[in-house]
A and B are shown apart, each in its own frame.
Chain A
């Protein structure tokens, strides 16, 4: 199994509070991703990173920011949480590079976030 962890695994917070989710990898993969999973929508990309300090927006980036100061860590921040951000959040990593087998993603166990 790819070495990828997420913390916290569960969090309940109130509307308007800031929340930071952490993704940590031990695989030295270049690409890291944050997704949210919601019923009827599957997995939707929030933000991704293609290197230290290199990030880009995904499909549903509004209300979220990310930072990657080290290869192994990718942080997702909800500046002011809203009830619509209640979801399960998955981090994923990928070696990238455009070669065969490099497009596979390895997912973390997920973080269940509830915003009351």
Chain B
């Protein structure tokens, strides 16, 4: 059973608007969360992370929100750009275990 779930396989957004990608997890031991971005024929690249001691982390156009009580995190991209079109994976780990669990990914399409 998947411990990290991304229930939206795809998302289409107009350029300049906000993109919101969602992720849910089931394991309460997870305390570190990451988002990765993947272009076709390339490996995933790290985007942004958040520790469970925070509920928000911001890096430029990217903000990750964590709701521990709901076991839910989201990635906000504002404003969205066509170059953001990619597959986004969320991942979770228990901080000291260095073992990561990934969601199934959400394919974001930003239309010009």
CB atoms of B95 and A103 under 8 A apart: yes
CB atoms of A98 and B44 under 8 A apart: no
In the complex with contacts A42-B103, A103-B95, A90-B44 CB distance below 8 A: yes
Q: How far is the CA of A43 from the CA of B98 in the complex (A)?
A: 15
A44: chain B residues within 8 A (beta carbon): 102
Q: Mark A19-39, 1 if CB is under 8 A from B, else 0.
A: 000000000000101010000
The 8 Å CB contact of B98, one of A41, A100, A103, A108, is: A103
Q: Mark A79-115, 1 if CB is under 8 A from B, else 0.
A: 0000000000010101010101001111111100000
CB atoms of A43 and B32 under 8 A apart: no
Instruction: Indicate the size class of the contact surface on chain A.
Output: 20 to 34
Distance in Å from the Cβ of A109 to the closest Cβ of chain B?
5
- A58 within 8 Å of B (CB atoms): yes
Distance in Å from the Cβ of B19 to the closest Cβ of chain A?
19
Q: How many residues of B contact A (CB 8 A)?
A: 26
Which chain A residues (35-60) contact chain B, with CB distance < 8 Å?
Answer: 35, 40-45, 48, 50, 58-59
B105: chain A residues within 8 A (beta carbon): 42
Q: How far is the CA of A33 from the CA of B9 in the complex (A)?
A: 25
Q: How far is the CA of A21 from the CA of B95 in the complex (A)?
A: 29
Please report A residues at the B interface, Cβ cutoff 8 Å.
31, 33, 35, 40-45, 48, 50, 58-59, 90, 92, 94, 96, 98, 100, 103-110
Please report B residues at the A interface, Cβ cutoff 8 Å.
6, 9, 32, 34, 36, 41-46, 49, 51, 89, 91, 93, 95-96, 98-105
Q: List 12 A-B contacts (CB under 8 A).
A: A43-B102, A48-B98, A98-B95, A98-B96, A103-B93, A104-B46, A105-B34, A105-B100, A106-B46, A108-B43, A109-B41, A110-B42
With A42-B6, A42-B105, A90-B43 given, name 12 new contacts (CB 8 A).
A40-B9, A43-B89, A43-B91, A45-B99, A45-B101, A45-B102, A59-B101, A96-B98, A105-B100, A109-B42, A110-B41, A110-B43
